[in-house]
Structure 1
Amino acid sequence: MRLPLLERIAMCLVVTLSCVLDLGQKLLCTVPQPADVSRAEYVNRFGCWSDVAALWNNRGLAQHVFPYVHGTWRGDPPVLGGGTVEYPTATGVWVWLTALPVDSARGFLVVTAVVAAVLAVLVTLALQRIAGRRAWVFAATPPLALYAVYNWDVLPVASTVAALLVATAPPRAWSPLLRWALAGALLGLGGAFKLYPLMFLGAMAVAALLDSDAPWSERVRRTAVTVGSGVGVVLVANVPFALVNYEGWSSVFRFQAERPIGPSTLTIWYYGLLPWSADLDGPLQGTMATLATVTTAVGVLAVLAVTVLRALRTGRTPWIQSSAAMLCVYMVANKVDSPQYVLWLLPFFVVLRIGGWWVTAYLVTDVCLTVGFFRNGYYDAVGQTGETWAGQMLTAAIWIRAVLLVVFVVRFLRAEAVGRAADRPGGAATLPAGRRSLEHPAPA
């Protein structure tokens, strides 16, 4: 349902204000700290850390070196160099482009915030078109005010929501195959920004093949265009860099693979295996990395298996629910679960009905985790030893978040889609590719 114009404007203003608030808070870290205060004490006192400012200072963005082409992975320990950042290629190029007009970390933060605000407004309008008033869950909750300029995660979020919009509320003139191809390409673009949307491409491909609303030959064609367009975008974003400078391109994957699981990764593996995991150079690091990889893969494949079984039984694939469930598996089991990952979840809180109290519990836990993390870092920086309320709140929030994510795996798989994300009243959400649903979409 299309909301009144004034309400949509109000949503956009709230989103913009959230991004401005986050920018103002992050700008505190672009000025020197007082002479008698350490950098760690200053940053953690104000909680103003952001990858945007940090990468400007640590990855040579001020020199505007085109990333990956001149990248290296050398040294002891090895470090990224040559303009390369620790993100997939599309994000790296985006970072390079947005750094071109400025010559300081402060200016870079401002440009990044402006772009993030524009994308967040577009995401809000898309979610409003899909799910109506529920878009307020994205627009008016704390995550944007905390993480809009934390890094560049709004890019894959925007790609994912754009794919949802194409899948559920496209222009009438678009053909079925065009919709499948464009939705797949948008998820591929999300994967070029950050890998996790590629899981959603897998769920969408299952829907393309197993939804029984078309002849088998048409299902094969739409599966081919969905997978082909998504994988094609990923290849276009990666192959040229790999051919020009394989070391620079692969250094990103080496960096992430060799990144130790420590207190800043905020993962159950580190906090669940203390005190042994506290040795960041110890033998347990390899074991934890293997456990994270295996459990993530098994969990994602298990969700896909459930999705396939439901599709075979009912003839309709709950690909949106499956995507949300896989995302929760990834967040709880992977080696890193950064606070800004909540931005990945927000669109699914909008388009799937899992209960307002569950959503509230997760968002409150996320705020507590962030406050506890930075305040605990402040106490460490000033030399305060022993247990503190901040450390206790951080640990509790990590485990509560993990429990909630496990619960969400089940609840998302059983959830009802809302608004245009619902293929039929009370039914499973799927990419509506049948001739009837495509030729006669729901009115605006």
Structure 2
Amino acid sequence: MNPDAPALSRLLGGRMGEHARPGGLWFRAWPWAFLILLVNFLVLMARQVPCETGQSKYLNLCYSDIRVLWYWRGLRDGEIPFLQHDVEYPVLTGAFMELGRRFVLLLGGKSQPGLNGAEVATSAHLFMGVTAVLVFVLFGVLVWAHLKMHRPWDALMIAASPAILTAGLINWDALVIALTSLALLAWGRRQHVWAGIWLGLGIAAKLYPLLLLGPLFILALRTGKWREFFITAGATVATWVAVNLPVYLATPDGWLYFWTFNVDRGADLGSLWYALNLAGINIPELSRVESLAMVIGALAIAAILLFAPQRPRLAQGAFLIVALFLVVNKVYSPQYVLWLLPLLVLARPRWFDWAMFSIAETLYYLAIWAHLDGVLSQDVPAGRLYWLSVFFRVGVVLWLMSRVITDIYRPAEDPVRLTGLDDPDGGVFDNAFDAPWLQKLTQRGPRPARLASSPPEPEPAPAEPVPTQPEPTTLGLAESSPEPPRQ
């Protein structure tokens, strides 16, 4: 034992030996991230037990569309989504539902008309279990993608999130968030075709990944990285068409059902508009108001991404546009917390922000089920707690948006840029210069603006007087020109 070792070091066995490996298993992010994810998901599975035994799905906080839609979307009768029964989801989510049904058949369950109640219940339990395993794998893919990014320890914010514990099995949203994170990982690694493929698959699962093309386009406009953008956008369109076209050709009406269902939808659970209705404030022509709010907000975000002195990071733009969409959307389901979680971790990896986000979402999660069960009925004063939870949830999202915008204009406060980095997960945008047209328009030089914490550049030294006698040059170095700046 070394007597000079600190007290804690002596308590644990002395200083680290010369052959020890500081980068060993327990000093890496991935074993902790996957272990925490496993524990989190096991608790989520345990919470499903009351619903599997027929107890109240709302008061026991175990409601799941997965279980309900086995009965109500033709799966129990062997009907294939889209082809034989309409579903209110994009094509790839319908295919994921069908995949779960096929696994039920492989495990001995039944999916056909004329089954008795016990047979239907057994198959429903199998479907829920099989889907839960698939969803866990997708959450594993999500965590793995973030472990492969520049700040692997931030993946613990995803693995430990209460969002997984509460909303992980409400719907099939794990599919789209895994695909979206794979797209961002591929873009960060400059694998532009793969970024487009993953993004196209994500849009085929849920519509919101389409919004990410907006920040990609604006940042390509700002930096002139058009080739990379068009490769990704082309791969996105080609992938989405390849997935959707066969279903459209087989059943145009079935394919269109998702679109008509969402267009005709009114103010629904979780949305700001729904809470305003409960508070006695009705918004006429809601679809137009929603569209106008989205357009104005998107233009404001585009202006920030384009004209901010320091070019924003891709993750910041992605978070802002998706958060705007959720704030103004006609429905803000409790599982949509999963859409924002990975983007928040990339845009502003601060535990305080993560905690505030988690508190707001968890409070809303508790309120929505009490509201649906009637505990927070609008007929009693306690009913106000539901719409207040909606306002608090939306308010926290708006606050987080303001924090990200502050980071954009004060990059020294950006957790990712504190060490002098630019956009390490931004792919070709990392350390990219502004395009010449923008330099001319804003009268800024070719280099990105310095961080606010960077020391000022020293004043140039005064020029020395020209000697009366010419000095000899050595190897012609005096006539060499400096290397032009990298574009």
Question: What's the offset of the Cα at 1:324?
Answer: 0.4
Return the offset for 1:259. 2.7
Specify the alignment match of 2:75 in structure 1. 61
Alpha-carbon offset, residue 157 of structure 1: 0.8
Q: Which residue identity lines up with residue 60 of structure 1 in the other structure?
A: G
Contact 1:159 1:190 in 2 (8 A): yes
Q: Counterparts of 1:1-400 in structure 2 under 5 Å?
A: 4-6=24-26, 7-33=29-55, 42-70=56-84, 82=85, 84-102=86-104, 103=109, 104-130=123-149, 131-168=151-188, 170=189, 176=190, 179-211=191-223, 219-262=225-268, 265-274=269-278, 287-310=285-308, 316=311, 318-353=313-348, 355-380=350-375, 385-388=379-382, 391-400=383-392
1:317 CA displacement: 5.3
User: AA paired with 1:85?
Assistant: V
Check conservation: 1:203, 1:304, Cα contact below 8 A: yes
CA separation in 1, counterparts of 2:367 and 2:163?
Answer: 16
1:68–1:248 contact (8 Å) kept in structure 2:
yes
Q: Deviations along 1:324-370, whole A, 9 cap, x unmatched?
A: 00111011110011111111121123223364323211211111111
Does the 8 Å contact 1:64/1:100 carry over to 2? no
Structure 2: which amino acid aligns with 1:139?
Answer: A
Corresponding position of 1:427: 422
- Preserved contact between residue 64 and residue 96 of structure 1 (Cα < 8 Å): no
| Alpha-carbon offset, residue 428 of structure 1 | 4.6
Distance in 1 separating the partners of 2:131 and 2:143: 18
Is the contact between residue 422 and residue 430 of structure 2 (CA under 8 Å) also seen in structure 1?
no
Question: One-letter code of the match for 1:387?
Answer: P
Q: Which amino acid aligns with 1:397?
A: S
Contact 1:85/1:252 (<8 A) preserved:
yes
CA gap 1:326/1:429 in 2 versus in 1, 3 angstroms = farther
The whole-number CA distance in structure 2 between the counterparts of 1:326 and 1:436 is 23
Structure 1 residue 412, shift from structure 2 partner: 2.1
Please state how far the C-alpha of 1:418 moved relative to its aligned partner. 5.8
Q: 1:334 to 1:392 in 2, by over 3 A?
A: same
Structure 1 residues 221, 423: closer, same or farther in 2, change over 3 A? farther
Say whether the 8 Å CA contact 2:313–2:423 is kept in structure 1: yes
Cα RMSD for the two superposed structures: 2.8
Structure-2 separation of matches of 1:69 and 1:304: 40
CA deviation after TM superposition for structure 1 residue 152, in Å: 0.9
Partner Cα distance (2:423, 2:250) in 1: 45
Instruction: Judge which range, 401-410 or 46-55, deviates more.
Output: 401-410
Segments of 5+ residues of structure 1 without an aligned counterpart are 34-41, 71-81, 171-175, 213-218, 278-283, 438-444
**TM-score relative to the length of structure 1:** 0.79
Distance 1:189 1:414 in 2: 33
Instruction: Output the CA distance in 1 between the equivalents of 2:328 and 2:74.
Output: 32
When you count helix as a share of all residues, which structure comes out higher? Answer: 1
SS of residue matched to 2:428: coil
Q: What is the number of residues matched between the two proteins? A: 386
* Superposed displacement of residue 159, structure 1: 1.2
**Partner of 1:44: helix, strand, or coil?**
coil
Alignment partner, residue 215 of structure 1: none
Q: TM-score, normalised by structure 2?
A: 0.72
User: For 2:59, what is the secondary structure of its paired residue?
Assistant: helix
Q: Distance in 2 between matches of 1:109 and 1:207?
A: 42
Residue deviations 1:395-434, cap 9 Å, x none?
A: 2221111112222223223436666xx6982535663228
Contact 1:307 1:319 survives alignment (8 Å): no
> Aligned partner of 1:220: which letter?
W
Contact 1:20 1:113 in 2 (8 A): no
Return the offset for 1:236: 1.6
Would you identify which runs of 4 or more consecutive aligned residues in structure 1 move more than 4 Å?
A: 416-419, 434-437
Structure 2 runs not aligned, ≥5 long: 1-21, 110-122, 433-487
Q: CA deviation at 1:245?
A: 1.4
Against the structure 1 CA distance between its residues 232 and 309, is the aligned structure 2 distance closer, same or farther, given a 3 Å change threshold?
farther
SS in 2 for 1:234: helix
SS at the partner of 1:433? helix
C-alpha distance 393-354 of structure 1, shift in aligned 2 (>3 A): farther
Report the AA paired with residue 191 of structure 1.
I
Q: Would the aligned equivalents of 2:279 and 2:387 in 1 still touch at CA under 8 Å?
A: no
Between the two structures, name the one with larger relative contact order (CA 8 Å, sep ≥ 6). 1
* 2:272–2:327 CA contact under 8 A, matched in 1: yes
Q: Distance in 1 between matches of 2:90 and 2:62?
A: 24
Q: Distance in 1 between matches of 2:406 and 2:200?
A: 26
Matched residue type, 1:144: I
Contact 1:86–1:255 (CA under 8 A) maintained in structure 2: yes
The structure that has the greater radius of gyration is 2
